[in-house]
Structure 1
Amino acid sequence: MTQYQSFPETAGSSHSLEKLKALCLPPLKGRRFLDVGCNEGFFCGYALWDGASRSVGIDRNAAFIERAKQRFPGCEFLMQGWNELPAGPFDVILLASALHYAKDQPALVNSLMGCLAPDGVLVLEAGIHPALEKDWILVKRGIDERLFPTLLKLREVLRHYAWTLVGDSVTQSGDPVPRSVMHVRHRRPVAYLLMEASGSGKSTMARHLFRSAGVPVVSGDRLIDRTARDKLDAGPALTAAIRRPDYDNARVDVVVRRIFESRLADAYVDLILRYAGTGDFALDGYVPPEHHEAVARRLTEKGYVPVRLTWRGVGVPAISTAGVQERAQRYFESLRGTRAPAAGG
């Protein structure tokens, strides 16, 4: 049987150490690792050495599996193909030098992603044909003919996921297609946060940047106003903080500050998410700067990637609604004791 993986005492046709370096595997301590097409278990052994809590390898070759078990008794090795994957989820899944063997390559990628933990990563090493079109290219290799994707075709296969082209992998004898390494993750929805003060232009920005692009925009002011007018059930605690006898829709910033000072940040964000849908969205709503991190934290807990947008205002500087009313009151009070001009004067 031809030796494929390389070990210190046995050289194979694959340069396993150099490939391990090229894969850029993340730290594996405490994580669950799966190698699909594990051969003699070189990478499973590495995962165990690096502290993985579980290291599993699958391969259809009985001789490879037997050797792997002898080399790395602390790992799990299963003689099976990828049509039925081991029970997961796994934090890191490796598919190296094998994608082109699948009859349905997109289906295999989707199957592996379905076995991946929400915060996990699929480490994909695959040949990418240099042709410029979006297609599968049939390539004659030393031992057979296989279909390889172009970069545009691979982008189409991975369009539902977040992925990074890490770099080149090692060349393989008899394989004319250059190999690359990609790290593929589940794509999380993005929450674009426009939380600047009233008058800063956030509503205009939300309208022109996001609504015109089809990204839903949730107005924090509108949610608060509807709750205050008994048109929206925001829950007992949040409703009590909003629905006050002195409520004034021109002073929503005062209400927002009261919400956060009452430690209702999570409840407020959860209310926003009720109207955000399941994909990307933009929040158009003032949040005091000292509470921006609380909003971002809650969104992260809920599975979103929070992106805070900040900008420098131009023109006449804005002032909060509360500030406007306070300044007006001070001015009015300053007039007390002044004498009115004589009639006709």
Structure 2
Amino acid sequence: MSPVKVVPLADDVYLENLNIDILQYAQVLDFQSSSNAFTRYCHFWNATVDSQPVDGKTYDVIHIGINELEQSSFSDVLALVDHALAPNGVLVFGGLISQEGNAWKSIDDHYVPSFGAIKSHLSDHAWKLIGSLEGQASLPRSHYMFFHVSRMKPTAFLLLGSPGAGKSTIARRYFKALPVVQGDQIYKAIADGRIEVSVALYDAVSKEFDSCRILRMTVLLFEQGLGDEIVDVWLQHAKHSDVVVDSYVPPKYHKVVKARFTRSGYVAIDLQWDMAKTMCSKRRASELVGSFMSGKKTRSNSSQSPIQVDTKPVLRRSAFVATFRRLFSR
């Protein structure tokens, strides 16, 4: 049986299927040695390219020619993801992969991995199969496949709805395996002096803290520009691991909070839902009790009475008959 040769894709087809946008002045590490197409492509877009990793340097893009590496070498290259890939960087690779078996196959001077072997190596990373093309070599059940690989980031599930919306219930019911940052407990700890914060935040929380007035206090804190420091306290307690944040945030600041978690290296997911609330505000509760004690019913939250009474005068039947008779007796 004649040996099977790995036929490389044309440069333009290969580069197009990597599906990567090289930004100007990006730092790139290119491990491909049989072709310098990717390096030339990066230089064209004014990126800096190294062929070997430089100590202490991080890269926006790391490129691997998969069929130039043995299984052990591929593992070594993936280890670079943990210390050489920038936080938002991506490792890209493509090559001929067999869909049979779980071992790497040596074909002439090339190694062809199986799809199962690739997935097992990527299990500790976030990865996506970008696309595939029919194999251009006479290897049965083979495809050219292209992957993007990045660091596995922690996830922050943000439950930021108003008090009484069911945040804590959702956290207890569906996130039992994750630590929960409870906003109420954080505020209590700040007010008690158990968490070190700025004088401004401590003064504001210790002055306003009331477990029944979390909404009012939180609005005041964010309006005073203390929101970023509050989120930083949450981040310290999250310890860069998967976390659930259960704390009210005014709706107009949701995007700000989410962006701060994203900049800190999290995949931030803002969970929002509509739900009838059982709680009213402290002020509203005081008004209702005051009305009850005084015996006067009020509808301070409504501009109209719920029952509309027609106040127009009603013309009685007897008056109508009398008027009719007077008109025709003239």
- In structure 2, stretches of 5+ residues that fail to align are 297-330
| CA shift in 2, pair 1:338/1:85, >3 Å | closer
| Aligned structure 1 segments of 4 or more residues deviating by more than 6 angstroms | none
Using the alignment, how far apart are the partners of 1:331 and 1:96 within structure 2?
Answer: 72
Bigger Cα displacement from structure 2, 267-276 vs 111-120: 111-120
Counterpart in 2 of 1:77?
Answer: none
Q: 1:233 aligns with which of 196, 200, 204?
A: 196
* Mapped contact 1:125–1:169 kept (Cα < 8 A): no
Counterpart in 2 of 1:19?
Answer: 14
Cα offset, 1:154, TM superposition: 2.4
Cα offset, 1:102, TM superposition: 4.5
- In structure 1, stretches of 5+ residues that fail to align are 5-11, 59-83, 340-345
Q: What are the within-5 Å matches in structure 2 for residues 168-247 of structure 1?
A: 168-169=132-133, 171-173=135-137, 177-211=142-176, 214-244=177-207, 247=209
Q: What are the within-5 Å matches in structure 2 for residues 24-103 of structure 1?
A: 24-52=19-47, 54-56=48-50, 58=51, 85-87=53-55, 88-98=57-67, 100-103=69-72
Counterpart in 2 of 1:287?
Answer: 249
* Mapped contact 2:18–2:94 kept (Cα < 8 A): yes
Using the alignment, how far apart are the partners of 1:311 and 1:333 within structure 2?
Answer: 33
Amino acid at match of 2:125: Y
Q: What are the within-5 Å matches in structure 2 for residues 315-334 of structure 1?
A: 316-320=276-280, 323=281, 325-334=282-291
SS of equivalent to 2:238: coil
| Pairing 1:158–2:158 present | no
Bigger Cα displacement from structure 2, 189-198 vs 109-118: 109-118
Q: 1:105 aligns with which of 52, 74, 85?
A: 74
Cα deviation, 1:100-137, whole Å, max 9, x if unaligned, reads 43534322211255322111111021443323x6x3x2
Q: CA RMSD in A?
A: 2.7
Amino acid at match of 1:189: P
* Mapped contact 1:198–1:318 kept (Cα < 8 A): no
Cα offset, 1:224, TM superposition: 0.5
Using the alignment, how far apart are the partners of 2:284 and 2:35 within structure 1?
Answer: 76
Cα offset, 1:195, TM superposition: 0.7
* Mapped contact 2:68–2:110 kept (Cα < 8 A): no
SS of equivalent to 1:263: coil
Using the alignment, how far apart are the partners of 1:159 and 1:306 within structure 2?
Answer: 21
Amino acid at match of 2:121: V
Question: What TM-score results when the alignment is normalised by the length of structure 1?
Answer: 0.75
> Which structure has the larger Rg?
2
Counterpart in 2 of 1:266?
Answer: 228
Cα offset, 1:230, TM superposition: 3.1
Using the alignment, how far apart are the partners of 1:269 and 1:97 within structure 2?
Answer: 42
Question: What TM-score results when the alignment is normalised by the length of structure 2?
Answer: 0.78
Using the alignment, how far apart are the partners of 2:109 and 2:18 within structure 1?
Answer: 25
Cα deviation, 1:32-63, whole Å, max 9, x if unaligned, reads 222202334221111111232x133x3xxxxx
Using the alignment, how far apart are the partners of 1:103 and 1:172 within structure 2?
Answer: 25
Counterpart in 2 of 1:252?
Answer: 214
* Mapped contact 1:100–1:126 kept (Cα < 8 A): no
Amino acid at match of 2:287: R
| CA shift in 2, pair 1:242/1:99, >3 Å | farther
